[in-house]
Amino acid sequence: MVNRKFIPLIVTCCLFFLLFGIGSIQFESFGTSRVFFNLLTDNAFLIIAAVGMTFVILSGGIDLSVGAVIALTGVISSVLISQYNWHPLAVFPFVLLLGTGFGAAMGALIYFYKLQPFIVTLAGMFLARGLASVISEESIPITHEFYDAVSMFGFELPGGAWIGTSTIICLLVLIAAIVVAHYTRFGGRVYALGGDNNSAALMGVPLASTTISIYATSSFLATLSGIVYSFYTFSGYSLAAVGVELDAIAAVVIGGTLLTGGYGYVIGTLVGVLIMGVVQTYISFDGTLSSWWTKIVIGILLFCFIAMQRVLSRGR
């Protein structure tokens, strides 16, 4: 018998293959490794952010500040690089540190003042976007040879697929996240928090440090996602990445993670993003369907997965 806890993940994977299969049958050049790896390349930043969101949602929380943190990262990096002539390799650790601190502060507010994650991270979102627009309302281009080198770096796979820097970073993040989630005590504590706060505390899980670390991790990954995002755009803009937090949440849910926390897998989130990517690719291949169908389909998928989780947890 298949372990019950894997059912949502299996459904997610089947759905991906089904959608990819339908596309491949309908369009000649759809079912190629190039299209598949383009899904990774195009959505690398989303995958990184969604992995962070996975930890938050597994613990029973939510982080609405992700998109804003991405934008803020881009703005700070581009200002430091273009106006203060910092080297990108000096900028990245700096913004990652800032981002982690930002998340830790949100986590601390949530834990110590018993505030709801949703409203605290909402304030965080306003704060990050606000800071970004105070620093610059204009889009700031990044011109630096390091960025050129980054965009040139990569290698080609047989079949014409290209693996670039963003894809490599994204895959490394995925591996690291899987190890952390399933093979470290911190990972266990994240699941424990999502299972039952009280029991977790009675079993000796340190709630304060775990909560703070979870939101710090999410913001760290959002910042990293912001850096990767700047590799695509070569610029920093305060209005960039609007609504990415919603895409990330949708990817996590479609990836089979229970929104109430406690059940789910990091790898599912990857498949969740890929499903959303396939839908988008299919719609662009089709040509007659318009882009808004993406949102509607994602909404329907969200509904189906939430309903399925409801049924599964009722049977439990």
Which residues make up the interface to another protein (CB under 8 A)? Answer: 3-5, 62, 109, 112-116, 118-120, 122-124, 126-127, 129-131, 133-134, 137, 179, 182-185, 188, 191-192, 194-196, 198-205, 246, 249-250, 253, 259-260, 262-263, 290-300, 302-303, 306-307, 310, 316
We find the least distance from the C-beta atom of residue 86 to another protein, in angstroms, to be 23
Indicate the residue among 158 and 315 with the shorter CB distance to another protein.
315
We find the least distance from the C-beta atom of residue 206 to another protein, in angstroms, to be 9
We find the least distance from the C-beta atom of residue 28 to another protein, in angstroms, to be 27
Indicate the residue among 37 and 263 with the shorter CB distance to another protein.
263
We find the least distance from the C-beta atom of residue 208 to another protein, in angstroms, to be 12
Indicate the residue among 19 and 228 with the shorter CB distance to another protein.
19
We find the least distance from the C-beta atom of residue 196 to another protein, in angstroms, to be 6
DSSP secondary structure string for all residues of the chain: ---GGGHHHHHHHHHHHHHHHHHHHHSTTTSSHHHHHHHHHHTHHHHHHHHHHHHHHHTT---TTHHHHHHHHHHHHHHHHHTS---HHHHHHHHHHHHHHHHHHHHHHHHHTT--HHHHHHHHHHHHHHHHHHH-SS-EE---HHHHHHHH-EEEPTTS-EEEHHHHHHHHHHHHHHHHHHHSHHHHHHHHHHH-HHHHHHTT--HHHHHHHHHHHHHHHHHHHHHHHHHHHSEE-TTTTTTHHHHHHHHHHHTT--TTSS---HHHHHHHHHHHHHHHHHHHHHSSS-THHHHHHHHHHHHHHHHHHHHHHHH-
Indicate the residue among 25 and 119 with the shorter CB distance to another protein.
119
Indicate the residue among 155 and 292 with the shorter CB distance to another protein.
292
Indicate the residue among 104 and 150 with the shorter CB distance to another protein.
104
We find the least distance from the C-beta atom of residue 218 to another protein, in angstroms, to be 16
